Amino acid sequence: MNFPKNEKNNQRQLPLADEIFLDHVGHFVSDKDAARDALIQAGFQPTPISIQRNEDEHGEKHLTGTGNVTAMFKGGYIEVLFKTADTKLGQEFDEALSKYPGMHLAAFAVADAQAHSQRLAQTDFRVRPIVDLRRPIGTETGESEASFTVARVEPGEMAEGRMQFLTHHSEDTVWQKRWLSHPNTTEALLDIVIAVEDITEAENRFGRFLRANPVSTNTGVAIRLGRGGVQLMNKETFDAMFGSLFGPVPHFPFIGVYALRVASLDICEDFLEQSGLEPKRQENALFVSFPKALGFGAWLFVEGENDLPWRHQ
């Protein structure tokens, strides 16, 4: 199966009109400092720790219950989340973390999160109220603020984790040029890989959620977006491809892997080996499990999208 290239989209950070981009993935962790160190060990240049807040109808800001550290790329980013308060969101964070530490979030960027929330409600998803999220971010000229409009569904609607749409309102503040270069040469977030028990049910649900037509691949089913996408695999395929990296899947469904594009696979491999992370090279792809502080799962590094195993014919 060949997929169309989106060269122009890959040069843009944010979607236009009806486009949907895979914006970021989120690790849920218990030790924020150890997780930040783990990002550095893997060759990422993480941002400083930030505490998230949302704004109520009176303009007052309250703790959401989580804070984050990120690794920002020319296309998308990685988010590492930790608990900051015993809010409803903080309690949901605890529940997810009790299943396993690792990835529990995938966020999809859209031009109008409010419109997507309404669309989800019209297609039988139970939706939550829109959230205006804020977090302070230091810049080279002083402190600024990142702002987002976030559309979420109720827990259980997407069993894989916290699947959400968001609209960015502060692109230059979030993607500061000083954070975009990484020793492992990562340039962009590509796809996420999710192991599911019922692939037919999952592909139908994700197709509705992302307003996209699932397509069959040599490893399962793909939901391709304007930039990036979701690859669904059954247990047998997922175990065959990734099981040697981190052992048995800790929970189903499981957001276990995400793919990143790098400028140089050789430089990335050398860095990871020197960091003691034991990468495994297969053809034009590099597989490596997360350091323990980032939870269960693995990265897949490639130089081009067509080097991904599920893009092979």
pLDDT tens string 219-257? 999 999 999 999 999 999 999 999 889 888 889 999 999
Q: What is the pLDDT of residue 109?
A: 98
pTM: 0.93
Provide mean pLDDT across the span 121-149. 89
Q: What is the pLDDT of residue 133?
A: 84
20: left (phi > 0), else alpha (psi -120 to 50), else beta? beta
Query: Do 192 and 255 form a contact (C-beta atoms < 8 A)?
Result: yes
Residue 285 CA to residue 237 CA, distance in Å, equals 17
Q: What is the pLDDT of residue 5?
A: 44
Q: What is the pLDDT of residue 8?
A: 45
pLDDT tens string 55-70? 666 667 778 899 999 9
Q: Which of 96-100, 132-136, 211-215, 296-300 has the lowest mean pLDDT?
A: 132-136
Q: What is the pLDDT of residue 10?
A: 57
pLDDT tens string 143-201? 888 899 999 999 999 999 999 999 999 999 999 999 999 999 999 999 999 999 999 99
28 class by beta-carbon count within 10 Å (0-12 exposed, 13-18 middle, 19+ buried): buried
DSSP 226: S
Q: What is the pLDDT of residue 64?
A: 85
When the pLDDT of each residue in the chain is averaged and rounded to a whole number, the result is: 92
| Bridge partner residues of 221 (DSSP) | 216, 232
Q: Where in the chain is the domain with CATH 3.10.180.10?
A: 18-179, 186-311
Q: Is the pLDDT of residue 2 over 50?
A: no
CATH 3.10.180.10, applies to 18-179:
yes
For 175, the token pair is 């993607």
Q: What is the CATH number of domain 186-311?
A: 3.10.180.10
